[in-house]
Amino acid sequence: MRTAAREGLMLCDVCDLLNRRVDGVEHAACARCGANLHLRKPDSIARAWAFLIAATILYIPANVLPIMHSGSLYGVQSDTIMSGVMWLWRTGSWGLAIIVFVASAVVPLAKIGSLAFLLVAAQRRSTFNPRWRARLFRVTHWIGRWSMVDIYVGAALVALVQFKAFASIEPGTGAIAFGAVVVLTMLATASFDPRLSWDPLDDREAAHA
C-alpha cells in the first residue's frame, strides 16, 4: 500500500502544502511558510487526551450551572441550557429549541465520545476499518463549529435586551464553562493525528513481508 510517508511526502499542518522530504535533513521545514514538518504530530495522543479529559470535566458544570442571568422589574431569573431549551419549547419556538439542544448538548457529547473512540483505537493499534475512522474524524472536525450556536444565540439575546431600559441579561458561569468545552474539544480534534489510524496496517504489511 502506497502512503505519503513511504513516498517521502509530508503535509504542513499550518498552510496545508504538501512537501517532499529531503534525505539527510534532520529538521524539515515547509517550503512555503517555514513551519516545522513531521511525519506524525508530536505527542498527538497525550495532548489530545489532555484536552479531551478537561472538556469532559467541564461538560457537567456547563450544563448544570446557569448560562445567563436575566433581570427585569419582575425580579431576577437564572437559566441553564436545558431550562432555556424547555422555555423555547413551551413558547412554541420548537425549531430553535431543537437547534439549541442539539448544538449545546448533543454535539459536544458526540465529539467527546467520537474522539475518545478514535484515541482508544489509535492507542490499541487497532486495524478496525481505518477508512471509516478517517471519515469519523472528518465529520467530528466539521461539526465542531456548530457547538458555538448556543453562545451566539445568547450573545444576540443579550444585545437585543440591553436596548430596553428596564431589562438586562448577563452571562453566567455556565457560559464560561460551555465556551471552554467548545474550545477544548476543538483543540483535542486539532491535536489528534488521523494518520495514526493507518499505521497498524503498515506494521502488519511489514510483518508479512
Q: Is the pLDDT of residue 170 over 70?
A: yes
Q: Are residues 90 and 22 in the same domain?
A: no
Q: Are residues 78 and 14 in the same domain?
A: no
Task: Tell me the C-alpha distance between 201 and 185, whole Å.
Answer: 28
**pLDDT higher for 116 or 146?**
116
Q: Are residues 166 and 149 in the same domain?
A: yes
Distance of CA 124 to the CA centre of its chain: 22
Q: Are residues 23 and 54 in the same domain?
A: no
Q: Are residues 12 and 108 in the same domain?
A: no
Residues spanned by the domain of 101: 42-208
Q: Are residues 55 and 34 in the same domain?
A: no
CATH number at residue 118: 1.20.140
Q: Are residues 9 and 86 in the same domain?
A: no
Question: 169 by DSSP, 3-state: which?
Answer: strand
Q: Are residues 2 and 96 in the same domain?
A: no
Q: Residue 38's pLDDT is what? A: 84
Q: Are residues 34 and 48 in the same domain?
A: no
DSSP string, 156-172: HHHHHHTTSTT-EEEE-
Q: Are residues 116 and 132 in the same domain?
A: yes
**Tally of structural domains, the chain:** 2
**pLDDT higher for 16 or 54?**
54
pLDDT band at 71 (very low <50, low <70, confident <90, very high): low
pTM, two decimals, is 0.82
Task: Tell me the C-alpha distance between 159 and 169, whole Å.
Answer: 9
Q: Are 3 and 202 in contact (CB under 8 A)?
A: yes
